[in-house]
Structure 1
Amino acid sequence: ILYDPNRKRVLVSGRELASKVMLYLLGGVTERMERAQLRIAVANARSVGKDQGISFEGKFVKLKEVGLPPQL
C-alpha cells in the first residue's frame, strides 16, 4: 500500500489506509461492511491500469481478486 512498484518509491499519501489495514490485521475490524470498504480501498490503491492490480504475493491479478491479507 505504501510502495509504488512503478516508480520504486514509498508513497506518503497511503499512510491512513496502511494504518487501517494494520488495524484489520490485528483484528480491530469486525464488521463485514467495514471490511468490504477496506478491501475496495486496498484494491484501488494497488491498481495498475483499468482492471488490473497487484496482489500481496506480487502477482498481477484482476482488480476484484485483490483482497485483504489474512488476519493475525
Structure 2
Amino acid sequence: MVFDWQNCVVLLLVLAAGAYVGWRSFLTIFARKQSGCGGGCSSCPASKPTNEGFVSLDSLKPTVRAGDQSS
C-alpha cells in the first residue's frame, strides 16, 4: 500500500474523530453533574406535569347532533 498525502489526511481525520468521541465519552461518564436544568431536581418547572392535552371523561360522553335526531 502506498502511503501518499490522501491517506495521511484520512488518517488525521479518523484520529481526530476518534479523539472527539473519546473526549465526549469521558466527559459524559466522569464529569460532575451540574445542578441546573437537566439535573433531575423536582423544583424545575419543566419537570412538573401539565394538564395540557388532558381530556376529561365528561367530554367523551356521546352527544346528539342536530341532524341525527330521530322522531
Higher strand share: 1
Common topology (TM > 0.5) = no
Q: Please report the TM-score for the alignment, with normalisation by the length of structure 2.
A: 0.26
RCO higher in structure (CA 8 A, sep ≥6)? 1
Higher helix share: 2
| Structure whose alpha-carbon radius of gyration is higher | 2
Q: Please report the TM-score for the alignment, with normalisation by the length of structure 1.
A: 0.26
